[in-house]
Structure formats: structure tokens, C-alpha cells
Structure 1
């Protein structure tokens, strides 16, 4: 047998897949993996069905994405962020989910030996994707329990080998959001350096309590050096469609497309047409998402108010972090999450999974992008602890 030398010998199956599998085995309510248990808007489903039976819509779309979809994205971006519209031809690329956009961006600009600053806790894709390019993740912890960025700590992590810095707002898993002051601090930090930025903004339209989402696209100095990632899957409750996009200046877009064309080449044609229809016919959809998700957050927090979980603040995204020290002080977050799934029938994610070294803060993550009945059923079980 031929020897196999793994490029990621320390990486196993994603914790999200593991907890989802455990939930299925135990018949538990799955609040672990970040997906809704309700369908996309009916008009969007109907548009997909219509385009799935349209002649000519079953062949490859153009590599960067359908022109009409890229044009709709440009109009949406200008409308939402009150900025000059990105050029559909040279600054917008439709990708197979934001996951592919992130991987393609890293593959495009990170060379062996380059350092990439990652703010932890972070989505578990970041580190492995950097390492697969021969890059070196440099992990900087966020301040706990607020999960705000300590910019002096970030400054201390920069070296002449720093190629890129990754930010994520609204933040997964904590729900923290970046402020205008944060973007100013970031811009000052990278000024007069060749450091690039990757801004993961897939939860951009899920912000609460009147707090706005601040995009890197709104800061001219950052926009010149940033890959901005967005997700139709998150915005339209259709994570299984796996469609996202990247907005970046022309030079960065050109490099991203060099990778994209050999990674997936093109995204599902009827799906792109359906999304273009949705952006054209219901441009206000994204503006309605705060009012759609905030009641879910508030209901879930209200239902757990009488429980023994300590709930951390959530300003954005669709995840709720909770401390379980009043229930158990001896179990690791992994052990507690597994026991919760098996004994209480509610699957969650241990937050240590978002740290490269398994750092355990005694926190678990719930997903509240669920129907009210699902949240109530889960809360009934959780209050019994």
C-alpha cells in the first residue's frame, strides 16, 4: 500500500458534523449546526422551480457568475451600504458558498511562509484553509467575555511576514459586531503596509437592537485591500444552496478568479437566476431580517431566563453563547455538550471547537435560527437541568 502523508494530520471531522450526527443518533433537537429549520421565501423557491425548467438554464454559467446576478449584487451593495457600487465585471465573483470564496481568496494571495492573523474564537475553516496554502496562522485571542478586538494585541502579532488579517462581523460564534471605531483602528494598523484583509460578513443582515452592521466596504482605505465575503445561503435561509459571493478590488478579484476557475469554475445556473430574481423583485428582503431574527433571539433568551445557563449578549448573527458553570464545574465543554445531547435531547456546539488549541471557556453555542416550536421544545428540556 502506498504511504499517505496527510496535509492536515491533526484535523478530523468538523465538530458541527459530529454534533449533528450525535443529534440524529439520539433523536435530539439540533441547535448545534447553523442552519434554519424553515424554508426559503416561497417566491424564491418558485423562481428556482421556474428556472429549473427554462431551456438553456442547465449549462455552465459564466465563471464569475451570471452578469444579471452580479449587477443585482452591485445595486444591492450600493443601496445597503450607501457606497459606490462595485463593478460587476471586475469586482464581484459568485462562488459556491462563502466557504469557497474564503478558500479561493486565501489560495490566491497566501504563499508558503506567509503569516495570516486569525482572531479567536474563529470559524474552524480558517486555520486549515491557511495551512493548506503553506501559510502560518497567527492566533490572537479576542477579549472574553465581550469578544471585542484588542487592537494593541493585534498590532503586537504583526510582523514583516504578515500577509493577511481576517475579521468576522457579526462574529461567529459570539455575535459581537465591529464598530466604526474598530474599522478605523484596523485601517490605521495596516496603513503603509502591504497587509491584505479578509472580511467575513456572512451574517451582515442579522444585527439587533438598532446596532448597524459596519462593512469594510464602507471604509475607503480598507475597501482598497479587502476581500468581503457574503452568503445568499444565510440571507435567504437556504444554506443548502451553497451560493455566496466575494467583493474585492479589481486586482484582488483577478487573483481570486484565477483560483475560482479551477476550484469550482461556476455555480449552479438556475440557482443564480432565482437569486437574481429575488434581488430584483424583493430588494427589501435583507432589510427585514433584523426584525425577523431579533424576536427569535429574544424569545430564546426569555425561555432560558429561568434556566441555570448564563446567557451572553448577542448583537448579531443567529447564535447564543451560554455559560454552564451553574450546572457543571467539572466537565469540559465537549463532555458537557455530548452529555446534553444524550441526556437532555438538545445538541449544541462546544466553543472550544473555535480555538486552534481547544481553549475551554466553559461555553456552549446554541443556534436560534429555528421555528418557535423548536425553540420552545428545546427550552423545555434545557430548563429541566
Structure 2
């Protein structure tokens, strides 16, 4: 008997399979198709010949933990303890899974803000807890009146995602003030802050839980080297949490994966000294602007993209189809694979919007735009 009976093949797998079958340009899955930095591969090639292929300590390579602490201080002004408050994880997904499994008990509730990434719900259900899905406003900003009404004494976590996948929306200062008030009102409430796109932001600076001292003792942040450094296949990220919470997360982590790829940690330990994370936003903003300029003449309506490497567009002027049917037809008739936004909602809210990934080389984006102009 299935423990997750309603969960089937993900929409990302479905659309990628359709893209392959119909030889479509795949702008659905969120991974870059361009080469990684040559400095990274040079370090990898050199270190692969050295004796770094055995287990690292459970919480991570100590020198890399130190450098993450330095990066956090430089980026956000927050001082964290490398030994007690940082954990290297097998990607952000493992960090999220371990956190929920460690902290959420049976019959407790976890608040998820829809549209939401699909990895949040499964570990909640496996904890025999209850996911509470609350929709954002139609412009994808938080509705704090609705959110506050959904929180009660059983609510253990609120999961936030900023910058937001799938919409590219970013939280404002006022949003964090509301979140702090909510945490103050419920002493048992913790914040799980998914910040994997923290360095991929554009006109507005990213606001993190690390900027908010009121949240430090009640929040768990999740970051991704894979997203930041275009190495999604390496599956390596990290979690930052106060010591009393981190002790519980490490208990799950040690039996889930024990430790993370040794060579990836050693390579990143060197590479992090060479890369300027502040330049990542500019790098992806050029791609965003290039893609937006290419498709601005289509019949699609582009929504704002403030962060991440995703662009949401409305097709309401083109078709009355539901977004799943529209995306399938986009693959079969026009040769471009995208993701329907309704799949990120528990209730399947259909806003006639689709998501493109623009973390692609210029040739791929140009070819996709040529096809989209035929809509």
C-alpha cells in the first residue's frame, strides 16, 4: 500500500519526456545547458587525482563550513557558527526533507504557500503531518490576512520560498515584518526558508531571513551551490539553523545520506574563493533581458521576473485552454516545452500562465523565440 498514493510522475519529467519525443526545445526543467566555469572544472580535474575520495565529516568538510560562514557574513552581515549551525546537504531537496522529518511530528501542520515547488509536501505526509496549502495573491505576493488565518497552535512550520519558484517574485520588507509578527504570535512556529535562488536577483536586492535578527532563533535557511554555480547535477547545498534546531536536523541527515560527495566539497572549498556571487545576478539578468526582448513581440504577456532564472507568461490572449493542455500543445505543435503553473497549486488553480527557464545559451533561447513567434 502506497504511503504517497496521490503522487505520480512529476510534471517536470512529463514535459521533458514530451520534449524528447517531439524534438522540442526544452525550457521546462530548471537547469542550465551551458558549460560551467572553467576554473571549476580545472580544480575538479586536479583534485580528482588526490586523496579526497573518502567520507568527509557528517556535517561537512570543516574548511568549507568555515567558508560558508564567511560568505554568510559577507552577504548578510550575520555571524553563524560553522560547527554548530551549518550543514552540507545532498542538494537543497535533502536539506528540506531532513528538516521537515526532524522537526515535524504526527498531526502537526505545515503551511505551504501556493504556487509551490513539489518537494515540500511529501516529507510532511511521511511525517504523518498535515500540509496546509494557502494560495498567494494572483500577483504572487503573500496575502497575510489569509496566511495568518491559516496558522494555529498546531502549525509547526511555514515554508517560504524567496526568490520564488515558479514565479520569480521576491518578498518585500513589509512581508518580513508580517512574518515576524506571525512568529511572535505563535511561540512554536518555525520558518523554513527556501532561498536556493538567493544570488540570482535583479533590480531589487534579495531580503533573507539572515537579514532579520528577530528570525534567527526560529528559522532554517536552505541554500544551493547547484543553483548558484550552475552545477545542479552535483546535488550539493547547505542548511543554516540555530544549534538547538540543527542538532535535530543532523540526526536525520546522518541516517539519510551520512555525508555528502567528498570531491564536490573539496572542489567548492577552493572555488568559493574565486567566484563573486554578487556577479551572478548580473549574469542571469542579461539572459532574462535577452529572452524577454526576443519574445516581447509574441502574443504572450510577460509577467515581472524579479529573481530566479524563470520567466512566467500569460497566454490568456491566445487561448482559453487550461494550462496543461496548452503546454502540451506548445510541445506538439510549436516545439517548445514549458511548465504549466497550475501544477504548483494543490487545487490546480489555472491562471492561464506558463513558466519558461531562461538558464540556457543564446542559441537555444533564439530558436525557442522563433517558434513562440508563430503562436
1:39 touches 1:238 (CA, 8 Å); kept in 2?
A: no
Q: CA RMSD in A?
A: 0.9
> What TM-score do the two structures reach when normalised by structure 2?
0.98
Aligned equivalents of 2:35 and 2:154: distance in 1? 45
2: CA distance, partners of 1:156 / 1:188: 13
1:41 aligns with: 37
For 2:177, the equivalent position in structure 1 comes to: 184
C-alpha distance in structure 2 between counterparts of 1:162 and 1:379, whole Å: 44
1:358 to 2:348 alignment: yes
Q: C-alpha deviations, 1:261-295, integer Å up to 9, x for none?
A: 0001111101101001011233x2x1101110111
SS in 2 for 1:245: strand
Q: Distance in 2 between matches of 1:221 and 1:163?
A: 17
Determine the C-alpha separation between the residues in 2 that align with 1:224 and 1:46: 39
Q: CA deviation at 1:82?
A: 1.7
Corresponding residue to 2:54 among 38, 51, 59: 59
Which residue, 99, 102, 112 being the options, matches 1:108?
102
Corresponding pairs, count? 374
Structure 1 CA distance for aligned equivalents of residues 238 and 47 of structure 2:
20
Task: Tell me the secondary structure at the aligned position of residue 165 of structure 1.
Answer: strand
Q: Which residue of 2 aligns with 1:208?
A: 202
**Secondary structure of 1:143's partner?**
coil
Choose the corresponding residue for 2:273, options 269, 272, 280.
280
1:135-150 paired onto structure 2 within 5 Å? 135-144=129-138, 146-150=139-143
Could you tell me how far apart the structure 2 residues matched to 1:50 and 1:225 are? 41
Q: Deviations over 1:78-127 (max 9, x none)?
A: 0011222x101000000000000000000000011010010000001111
State the match for 1:379 in structure 2. Answer: 369
Indicate whether 1:199 and 2:193 are aligned: yes
Q: Where do 1:1-385 residues align within 5 Å?
A: 5-55=1-51, 57-84=52-79, 86-144=80-138, 146-192=139-185, 193-209=187-203, 211-282=204-275, 284=276, 286-329=277-320, 331-385=321-375
4+ runs of 1 displaced by more than 2 Å?
Answer: none
CA contact (8 A) 2:153 2:188 kept: no
Unaligned runs of 5+ in 2: none
Q: What's the CA shift for 1:221?
A: 1.4
The secondary structure found in structure 1 opposite 2:272 is helix
- Give the drift of 1:332: 1.2
Residues of 2 paired with 1:78 and 1:16: CA distance? 35
Query: Would the aligned equivalents of 2:336 and 2:372 in 1 still touch at CA under 8 Å?
Result: yes
1: CA distance between counterparts of 2:338 and 2:126? 28
Residues in 2 aligned to 1:33 and 1:341: alpha-carbon distance in whole angstroms: 14
